[in-house]
Amino acid sequence: MSERPLNVGLIGGGRGAFIVHPHQRAIHFDGTRRVVAAALHQDPDVAMEEAEDWPFPIHGYRSYDEMIEAEKGKPLGERVDYVLIVTPNNVHFDPAMKCIEAGIPVFCEKPLTVTLEESDKLVAAVKEHNIPFCTAHTYLGHWSSRLSRHIVRSGLLGDVRWVDSSYLQGWLASRTEDMGVMQAEWRVDPKRAGASCAGGDIGTHALMQLRYVTGLDVTRVQAHLVTFVEGRQLDDHFTTYCELSNGGKALVRASQIAIGHKNDLCIEVNGTKATLFWRQEEPEKIVIHLPGQPDRVYWRGEVQANDGFLGDMPEDLMAEPTAPSGHPEAFHDAFARLHRCFEADVRAYQEGKPWQSDGSKYANVEDGRMGIAFVAAAVESSQKGGEWVDVP
Ligand SMILES: NC(=O)c1ccc[n+]([C@@H]2O[C@H](COP(=O)([O-])OP(=O)(O)OC[C@H]3O[C@@H](n4cnc5c(N)ncnc54)[C@H](O)[C@@H]3O)[C@@H](O)[C@H]2O)c1
């Protein structure tokens, strides 16, 4: 018999909001999860109006406090099974902490918090309550990110010497924040965005892609944060030269003034035997460069074990539900894969079975914290003129 769908509660996502919509599609992707409740806006009246106008019936709440309080008292099956937080960065910590304390698993947008102190508190609370927690690093959900991770971590490139991980955009190349674009308004405001705009918003994705694919950590950074657009308090261009935990080196960079780049997350990993290249704007393929050989291009859905480069393929990777090759998968599929893996952990948690949140299927709370620690170190380094700073 099929299982009941999991109930999801939203925090944020009303009137003109962006990322709630890809999430909502991803939640409903498999038919095994559904949105049932929401506190959609900081203004309680707007929150209720927006819930009324939702495309299908949901239980609207006037605030997230009201939602958490009401939902935690309901029996399992009637209450929300997990909460999705899609508010600006400064409204992640408080609802996330309250959900954890109420025993509600959390799927939280990145960057995890605006301060390292808050991230540390969330890590401790997740540990204490032993509860599933996802930090929404979308791009780990591409099947090709899973394959990249397998290729690099199983040593097929040899030892990792150098990684170039970048996330380039051009949408803040002029004062977008003055054009009534709410997504730009809060991103350039240190109170709502945190200590870095480009670094926090998209540099954390570039860092997470590096960590997920290679299994390496950035141990220290030399950083230069630049504000090209006049009048901004935060960086719109973020460059870090990094030392890696295996002694290798990396560039992790992010820019929002790179006109022509849209959501251009790229990673190149140079090993002692081969190089891997992947780009999110063409997320279906991975290119492998081997010395003296033609390049190998691996397309999702067309990967065979033991082909002369790949060895045995992990069963779980080959068993991941994907569309037939040639029917393109992209952003929404990546989000759906994260929610699908999180759902499995939430169900196991509820049934008292072992569950993972180990970072292999989605970024967990420690991964979210590493993003904030990296940004904090980069901001400090930049303020000191590019001196080396350890990542705490
Ligand atoms: N994973 C990704 O790929 C990705 C992409 C875009 C944004 N994000 C992250 O998602 C978050 C939201 O970004 P966005 O671009 O969707 O922002 P947005 O401005 O489009 O939406 C934010 C929403 O939060 C609501 N909100 C604010 N305070 C609230 C409160 N106290 N209670 C309830 N609702 C409240 C706003 O009314 C709005 O509906 C940010 O942390 C951002 O970094 C992640």
pLDDT of residue 321: 85
Instruction: In whole angstroms, give the CA distance from residue 193 to residue 177.
Output: 13
Same-domain check for residues 81 and 176? no
Same-domain check for residues 313 and 343? no
Domain of residue 184: give its range.
143-324+372-383
| Sequence-ordered strand ranges (E) for the chain | 6-11, 33-39, 59-60, 82-85, 106-108, 133-135, 160-168, 218-226, 237-244, 249-255, 264-271, 275-279, 285-289, 296-299, 389-390
Q: In this structure, is residue 331 part of a structural domain?
A: no
* Residue 60, domain CATH: 3.40.50.720
Same-domain check for residues 105 and 240? no
Angle at 166 between CA 343 and CA 142, to 5 degrees: 30
Residues 6+ apart with CB under 8 A from 294: none
Residue 53: Cβ within 10 Å count: 11
Kindly list the distances between the CA atom of residue 217 and the CA atoms of 8, 172, 315, in Å, as whole numbers in the listed order: 32, 29, 26
pLDDT of residue 356: 86
Kindly list the distances between the CA atom of residue 289 and the CA atoms of 269, 275, 309, 327, in Å, as whole numbers in the listed order: 10, 5, 11, 25
* Residue 289, domain CATH: 3.30.360.10
| Atom of ligand 1 lying closest to residue 89 CA | 41
Residues 6+ apart with CB under 8 A from 37: 7, 8, 9, 10, 58, 59, 60, 61, 67, 71, 80
Same-domain check for residues 170 and 267? yes
Locus of tokens 């204490």: 128
Residue 306 corresponds to which amino acid? N
Is residue 190 within 8 A of residue 234, CB to CB? The reply is: yes
Same-domain check for residues 357 and 265? no
Same-domain check for residues 159 and 79? no
Locus of tokens 């350890």: 390
Output the CA 32–ligand 1 centroid distance in Å.
24
Average pLDDT, rounded, for the chain: 97
Instruction: In whole angstroms, give the CA distance from residue 117 to residue 167.
Output: 26
Q: In this structure, is residue 229 part of a structural domain?
A: yes
Please give the structure tokens belonging to residue 67.
Answer: 């939602």
Helices (H) and strands (E) in the chain, counts: 13, 15
Output the CA 186–ligand 1 centroid distance in Å.
9
Residues of the chain with pLDDT under 70: 1
Q: In this structure, is residue 159 part of a structural domain?
A: yes
Same-domain check for residues 114 and 184? no
Q: Could you tell which of 41, 67, 89 is best to mutate to test the pocket of ligand 1, judged by most ligand atoms within 8 Å of the CB? A: 41
Instruction: In whole angstroms, give the CA distance from residue 248 to residue 373.
Output: 19
Q: In this structure, is residue 391 part of a structural domain?
A: no
Nearest CA to ligand 1 atom 21: 17
Same-domain check for residues 262 and 279? yes
Query: Largest Cα–Cα distance in the chain?
Result: 65
Same-domain check for residues 86 and 159? no
Output the CA 88–ligand 1 centroid distance in Å.
4
Q: What's phi and psi for 276, nearest 5 deg?
A: -115, 140
Q: Give me the residues paired with residue 292 across strands.
A: none
Output the CA 210–ligand 1 centroid distance in Å.
24
Q: In this structure, is residue 352 part of a structural domain?
A: yes
pLDDT of residue 1: 60
Output the CA 309–ligand 1 centroid distance in Å.
42
Nearest CA to ligand 1 atom 4: 19
Please give the structure tokens belonging to residue 162.
Answer: 């150098």
| Atom of ligand 1 lying closest to residue 136 CA | 1
Q: How far apart are the first and last CA of the chain?
A: 48
Q: Structurally, how many domains does the chain consist of?
A: 2
Q: Could you tell which of 40, 48, 86 is best to mutate to test the pocket of ligand 1, judged by most ligand atoms within 8 Å of the CB? A: 86
Output the CA 285–ligand 1 centroid distance in Å.
30
Q: In this structure, is residue 90 part of a structural domain?
A: yes
Q: In this structure, is residue 329 part of a structural domain?
A: no
Same-domain check for residues 286 and 255? yes
Nearest CA to ligand 1 atom 37: 41
Output the CA 20–ligand 1 centroid distance in Å.
7
Q: In this structure, is residue 210 part of a structural domain?
A: yes
Provide residues with CB under 6 Å of ligand 1. 11-15, 17-19, 39-42, 64, 86-89, 91, 109-110, 136, 138, 182-183, 186, 201
Same-domain check for residues 135 and 149? no
Same-domain check for residues 261 and 241? yes
Predicted structure pTM score: 0.98
Is residue 236 within 8 A of residue 256, CB to CB? The reply is: yes
| Atom of ligand 1 lying closest to residue 92 CA | 41
- Can you tell me whether residue 201 is helix, strand or coil? helix
